Structure 1
């Protein structure tokens, strides 16, 4: 066996380790998605109050993520990926147990704070994937990580919906057990991916979340792409923070119904990112695939808001396959512009955009949804949050198109 073949085999093995970690982590997180909004509803009265307080809890989680995500990403550049992953797993386990035992909203806040401080697994996993794969295969590796993420959402929400139909708190106990299993797996199995001679010193300007975002914005080579990521991420955060409440208000869905819908989302994600991504990359290339995925997402958001029957939501999910390929393609383009010893910081900064979205968009989205929650279920205005998402996604598509067109003209 040649040295190149050996290196490839080792990299694949290391990547497989991290895929299992991401899957178990997202399985635990997916378990609680269909049941957290109804659990909040047990402590408040009325739809508007439920939407408001759920949005506040999501904002608290996002604020902690926003503060700590760049710090943990930069820490993984300094001390290695493995210790940060283990820390994240332990924190998520404590978060789930705190939420399961919560007798009031205050305890739910504590759980959200702990979870936000420790939920660094995705950014570090992306950095880990960049460590163990070559330049030309990096987008495919990000796609595999995204597929593991999606696979967790195939099993997690559906299982959470079924368990939540029995007891709303049961999924949190199961999620805690999953995180504990992930902690054991990470401690005993996952190897370090970043060699000591490639680690970077940890400086305040690298861990300051605002400074991290400012450095991305100052990078003129990818400034427009950062704007695209912000718009797309903010739209996704609004959708995620209002989906369960929206479908409950409009279609009277139960946790089981939402679990099944998220199963469809995870299935579509895995089919694209694990099965079709390589084919789509060869057929369209990273640039065209990014643009097609962005445009597909914009149309789908609009259709979500206009849907009049619950079954339509499933149809729109399964027709939006190209959108699941846009993320890995865009991440691959951005990653190739950054040195290997700064990948953790880059991925942490990109994840902090998502965290900033979780700070802002749940309050925006749930406020909009709360304002229209009194309307009849068949009133088109109740889909207002998705119309805002469609507008942001459309602007992102236009900005990305102009960026790539200008680069092509310059080349």
Structure 2
């Protein structure tokens, strides 16, 4: 990362920004593949160790509590000491958490594994900050879309890999996730260029450094975007935390209830949709509609999908409503994350993404517990309709908080 770029040099580098982010894509994709292996497995893995639906929700909540504590700290440390160093430390924590999960013979060790992973989490928020810092303002959305596309790649490959390995035993997928996490650490060290907090960003001048409190208080438009992200995180966490047990109770495949393999297929499908949205749809959507319209439509898609999921009697309808939910979630996350990044100075990207992750963690504390109570009492229709109602709140808030025209907050 150099300093003192002229306007002409800046323009020249903009064309190469996508190439410069290829190492970031690789690192995030490998990291996300490890996470994708764990996501469909964790509910059933924990259930076999005696976890109730509420305890499965608590596993997600305790991870979120740790994220809430660590998120801003990780973000600000990456602003101060550089993205790559903090990313490596974060990935080491993830690797240790996976190893503990693989050797866990009881729920205590499972909880400990999630605590360690949560306290050192920050991989995605730091990667988003790295991508924002290495892209021009005009290509910021595409750069963040590239990291989201890497997550989609991982969430496509990881669950599919989990479904294949679970045939050999419950711990095989977890060990595979640990190995991938180790590969991710090596890839970060080998592929990402060293950065330094004193370096100027490639594409923007840094703003003067006000106090942290003044910076946070002055982010009025960012707080509007964060309010919408909180709504999204809440409904997203309700959905992800109990979708496995919901499908297991309501649907069967080849004569047996949905299990880790089938849930892996659902997550792999979600990863495929993510890739389609990021690579083909997100930029084209902006040609025809503003970010406000996109977010409104995305929350509406989620509301329709959740409402339909409550009464879907067949696998074909399940696929239809899951598609609406997944497409809505992908558009909402990508659009709001890019809008949040654009609302903040370039040298505050780590802080704002860390704050974003902490607010996500706050939603992830309460939402899985609510989900666990509803699913634990077999209130499956209520579970889906509560999520539909939250998505409708997102529609209303998006109409109130986002500007009708780009660039006019």
TM-score if structure 1 supplies the norm length?
A: 0.88
Where does structure 1 lack aligned partners over 5 or more consecutive residues? 373-380
1:297 aligns with 2:302: yes
User: Alpha carbon RMSD of aligned pairs, Å?
Assistant: 2.5
User: Partner of 1:377 in structure 2?
Assistant: none
* Structure 1 residues 309 and 65: alpha-carbon distance in aligned structure 2, compared to 1, 3 A threshold: same
Matches within 5 A, 1:219-238: 219-238=219-238
Question: What SS class does the counterpart of residue 196 from structure 1 fall into?
Answer: coil
Task: Write the deviation string for residues 246-286 of structure 1: whole angstroms up to 9, x where unpaired.
Answer: 11122120211111111111111100112221111112132
Give the one of 26, 34, 38 matched to 1:20: 26
Task: Write the deviation string for residues 275-324 of structure 1: whole angstroms up to 9, x where unpaired.
Answer: 22111111213222222112112211222222223343222233453542
Distance in 2 of aligned mates of 1:96 and 1:311: 35
Matches within 5 A, 1:220-369: 220-251=220-251, 252-320=257-325, 321-369=327-375
User: Partner of 2:397 in structure 1?
Assistant: 399
Give the one of 110, 128, 131 matched to 1:129: 131
User: Partner of 1:171 in structure 2?
Assistant: 173
Quote how far apart the aligned CAs of 1:6 are.
Answer: 4.3
How many residue pairs get aligned? The number is 389
Question: What SS class does the counterpart of residue 191 from structure 1 fall into?
Answer: coil
Distance in 1 of aligned mates of 2:402 and 2:106: 50
Asked whether the equivalents of residues 152 and 274 of structure 2 are also in contact (C-alpha less than 8 Å), the reply is yes
TM-score if structure 2 supplies the norm length?
A: 0.88
Quote how far apart the aligned CAs of 1:225 are.
Answer: 2.6
Quote how far apart the aligned CAs of 1:226 are.
Answer: 2.2
User: Partner of 1:388 in structure 2?
Assistant: 386
Asked whether the equivalents of residues 29 and 154 of structure 2 are also in contact (C-alpha less than 8 Å), the reply is yes
Give the one of 50, 65, 71 matched to 2:52: 50
Give the one of 71, 74, 99 matched to 1:72: 74
Give the one of 21, 24, 37 matched to 2:43: 37
Quote how far apart the aligned CAs of 1:29 are.
Answer: 0.7
Task: Write the deviation string for residues 103-151 of structure 1: whole angstroms up to 9, x where unpaired.
Answer: 1111111101111112211100110111011112111211111111111
Distance in 1 of aligned mates of 2:56 and 2:85: 32
* Structure 1 residues 97 and 405: alpha-carbon distance in aligned structure 2, compared to 1, 3 A threshold: closer
